[in-house]
């Protein structure tokens, strides 16, 4: 049932991205680099290294999502357990930004990360579900 829900969530997210004018990645971005950065964000969230994530952010995002807000968001999620792997990842580009939707598999649940990066690989958007 969880797998079906995850699949439906991914399909909906991809549909929304496509419907909003998102396109495949241009040569400004590397899928490997985006995946590595996304994995770093996930591992830092799990470890409580919120300052490290803040260091990856563009200035505007730092202002609106300081470390205490990141911590509050993470703590509001059900207990995930230990991080295992990214079970699904989708790359798109919208308005010049790379958008990565990743389903992170944890011991007890999955968490969907939607991360947006600028061409300098700074986080300009972060959303967890």
- Give the total number of structural domains in the chain: 1
DSSP string, 95-122: TTEEEEEEEEEESS-EEEEEEEE-TT--
Q: Which residue(s) pair with 92 in the sheet? A: 99
In a domain, 14, yes or no: no
In a domain, 95, yes or no: yes
* pTM metric for this prediction: 0.79
In a domain, 1, yes or no: no
Q: What per-residue confidence (pLDDT) applies to 107?
A: 92
Centroid of chain to Cα 78:
17
CATH number of the domain that residue 42 is part of = 3.10.450.590
Q: What per-residue confidence (pLDDT) applies to 22?
A: 54
In a domain, 10, yes or no: no
Query: Exposed e or buried b for every residue in 96-115, given b needs 16+ CB within 10 A?
Result: ebbbbbbbbbbeeebbbbbb
In a domain, 123, yes or no: yes
In a domain, 15, yes or no: no
Three-state DSSP at 90 gives: strand
In a domain, 6, yes or no: no
Domain span at residue 81 reads 22-128
Residue numbers in the chain where pLDDT is lower than 50: 1-9, 11, 14-15, 17-19, 21
In a domain, 50, yes or no: yes
């Amino acid at each position: 049932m969880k797998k079906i829900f995850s699949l439906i969530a991914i399909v909906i997210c991809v549909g929304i991205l496509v419907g909003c004018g998102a396109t495949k990645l241009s040569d400004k971005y590397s899928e490997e680099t985006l995946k590595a950065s996304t994995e770093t964000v996930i591992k830092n969230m799990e470890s409580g290294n919120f300052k490290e994530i803040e260091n990856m952010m563009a200035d505007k995002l730092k202002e609106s999502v300081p470390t205490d807000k990141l911590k509050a968001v993470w703590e509001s999620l059900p207990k995930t357990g230990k991080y295992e792997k990214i079970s699904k990842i989708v790359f798109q580009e919208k308005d010049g930004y790379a958008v990565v939707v990743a389903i992170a598999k944890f011991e007890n649940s999955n968490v969907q990360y939607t991360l947006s990066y600028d061409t300098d690989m700074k986080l300009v958007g972060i959303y967890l579900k």
